[in-house]
Amino acid sequence: MLRFIGRRLLQAMFVLLIISVISFMIQDKLGDPVQQMVGQSVPQQDRLALQQDLGLNDPLLVQYGRFLGRALQGDLGTSYYYKEATLDIILSRLPATLELSFSALVLVILLATPLGVVAAIHPKSLLSRAILIFSTLGLSVPIFIVAVFLMYFFAIEWRLLPSFGRGETTWVMGLWQSGLFNKDGLLHLLLPSFSLAFVLTPMFIRLIRAEMIDALQSEYIRYAWSKGISASRIYFVHALKNTMLPVITVAGIQVGTLVAYTILTESIFQWPGMGLLFMEAVTRVDVPLISAYLMVVGVIFVVTNTVVDLVYSLVNPRVRLPGYGS
């Protein structure tokens, strides 16, 4: 077990290192920092001097070492536009994005579980076919179409829900700016989180359906029937528990995907999170901010994946990576 954890952590470090290299390359190769800092009017000698001062003439490896050293101390550079530490800017937007991703994930599970289960129990019924068609179509409809549709009907046509922004927020323990604790914030959350949930719901319906069909064909389900217990217990206790273990793992891993998709959702709904920040940074060619965003999202990816793997191996001791059992 210790060996398994050790190996998993080592892998995580390695991936983080690669992400840092990519971030570094972007910062180094995209745009000209000197130009960004001093503008047009400064004479050529001063520029060269500044280049020297900034260490831009050092060998690449030395520059990377410096970048990594700073990154480890939490210094991911300074935004050209905001003139503030990029990490601080991103972290101030993190709660909005995490709340959006988390509620989307909850919606995905709440929507996909009953649909997937129904489609597995009565695979030939009309309802199951409808669910399958929906999930197939859903896989191929891009998220911005869904988002624009939802916005058009619920916000513009019927005026039921706000169409942009995060609404009212409250500070939780002085650390976290949350929109989950008041009605206005929750109303604002509805459209964006439903749109974002749409990215994963079709896939999860299929996953849950497939896992459930597998479970229902297993010997332990036949045995459960032989014990005379009720059909609902067999479906929703015996089969569903076996179904949800792998599903929850995938859900954990997909947190990363959701965070990535927030770029689109947040842009459409002007949701003041990291994704919107990133889009703005791209239009302003705010290279340090872009590179810092990549680092932060990379860390989120790696951390969630690693945690999910470790938790899963604890919850389900039968499943260990090959060769690292017992």
Partner 1 sequence: MSLLKLENLSVTFGNFRAVDQISYSVNEGEVLGIVGESGSGKSVSSLSLMGLIDYPGKVSADQLTFMDQDLLSMPEAQRRKITGSDIAMIFQDPMTSLNPCFTVGYQIIEALKTHQGGTKKELKHRAIELLTLVGIPAPESRLSAYPHQLSGGMSQRVMIAIAIACNPKLLIADEPTTALDVTIQAQIIDLLIDLQKEKQMGLVLITHDLALVAEVAHRVIVMYAGQIVESGPASEVFSAPKHPYTQALLASLPESAAGRARLQALPGVVPGQYDRPKGCLLSPRCPYVTDHCRNVEPTSQGSLERQVKCHTPLNTQGRPAA
CA distance 117 to 234: 12
The stretch among 105-113, 196-204, 217-225, 255-263 that binds partner 1 (CB under 8 A) is 217-225
Letters for 83-122 (x = contact with partner 1 by CB under 8 A, - = none) are: ----------------------------------------
CA distances (Å), 207 to each of 169, 232, 274, in order?
35, 21, 29
CA distance 161 to 182: 15
* Single residue of 43, 44, 219, 232 touching partner 1 by CB under 8 A: 219
CA distance 192 to 100: 7
- Assess 44 for contact with partner 1 (CB under 8 A): no
* Single residue of 17, 21, 229, 314 touching partner 1 by CB under 8 A: 229
- Assess 209 for contact with partner 1 (CB under 8 A): no
**Number of Cβ within a 10 Å radius of residue 175:** 8
CA 96 to chain CA centroid, Å, is 12
The CA-based diameter of the chain, rounded to the nearest angstrom, is: 88
- Which residue's CB is nearer to partner 1, number 163 or number 242? 242
DSSP 8-class letter at 86: H
CA distances (Å), 282 to each of 37, 256, 276, in order?
17, 20, 10
The stretch among 58-66, 227-235, 247-255, 295-303 that binds partner 1 (CB under 8 A) is 227-235
- Assess 325 for contact with partner 1 (CB under 8 A): no
Phi, psi of 172 (to 5 degrees): -100, 115
- Assess 224 for contact with partner 1 (CB under 8 A): yes
Kindly identify the residues of this chain, within the stretch 231-290, that bind partner 1 according to CB under 8 A.
Answer: 233, 238, 241-242, 245
* Single residue of 136, 317, 321, 325 touching partner 1 by CB under 8 A: 317
252: which 2 tokens? 């954990």
Chain contacts with partner 1 (rule: CB under 8 A): 218-220, 222-230, 233, 238, 241-242, 245, 317-318
